[in-house]
Amino acid sequence: MILSIIVAAAENGVIGKDGKMPWRLPAESAYFRGTTLGHPVITGRKNYEGMGRPLPDRLNVVITRQPDYKVPPGVIVVHTLADALGLPQVRDQAEVFIIGGSQIYDEAMPMTDKLYLTKIHADIEGDTFFRYDPDEWELEWSEHHPADAENKYAFTLQRLVRK
């Protein structure tokens, strides 16, 4: 199983504000959807609640400390990242995506094989940040998208592999 993190972050590392993404970039959202479609996605409770609903056509696994956390049918609740990665529906897959939030990213980073990083070319105000050491990663692929009528900020999609 390849463990991957997928994240969009501003130049200043911001990934969220008040439980939401502080930007709307339809082209980046389409990339996220296409990349994760058909794969298990693992998320923390706060990030899950910020999404508003389970992601369709993906196994959604939510990590929470709340013992009786309620989710719709088809969503799996676990209490640790190790529990999530140990699920047969997860561990038997070719690739699994960690989709946030910051605490789950931090915990998963040491064991992550691939990093799908969208660099948003702006400093954006926020209260949640993504941290990683660029020296631990090698660029495998990159694609730049300029700002346009639908996407307020320019951004670069990157796929990195651990050195």
The residue-averaged pLDDT of 13-30 equals: 95
**149 in any annotated domain:** no
The whole-angstrom separation of Cα 36 and Cα 23 is 20
Looking at residue 140, its pLDDT comes to 98
Q: How confident is the model at residue 151 (pLDDT cuts 50, 70, 90)?
A: very high
**91 in any annotated domain:** yes
Q: Which domain holds residue 119?
A: 2-135
**146 in any annotated domain:** no
**11 in any annotated domain:** yes
Looking at residue 154, its pLDDT comes to 98
What pLDDT, in 10s, does the model give residues 99-133?
Answer: 999 999 999 999 999 999 999 999 999 999 999 99
**59 in any annotated domain:** yes
Looking at residue 56, its pLDDT comes to 97
**125 in any annotated domain:** yes
Number of domains in the chain: 1
- Say if residues 146 and 18 touch (Cβ distance below 8 Å): no
What pLDDT, in 10s, does the model give residues 48-99?
Answer: 999 989 999 999 999 999 999 999 999 999 999 999 999 999 999 999 999 9
Looking at residue 106, its pLDDT comes to 98
**157 in any annotated domain:** no
CATH of the domain at 10: 3.40.430.10
The residue-averaged pLDDT of 22-33 equals: 97
**161 in any annotated domain:** no
Q: How confident is the model at residue 42 (pLDDT cuts 50, 70, 90)?
A: very high
Tokens of 120: 């948003």
Q: What string of DSSP letters covers 49-102? A: HHH-SPPTTS-EEEE-S-TT----TT-EEESSHHHHHHSHHHHTSSEEEE---H
Residue 32 per-residue DSSP state: H
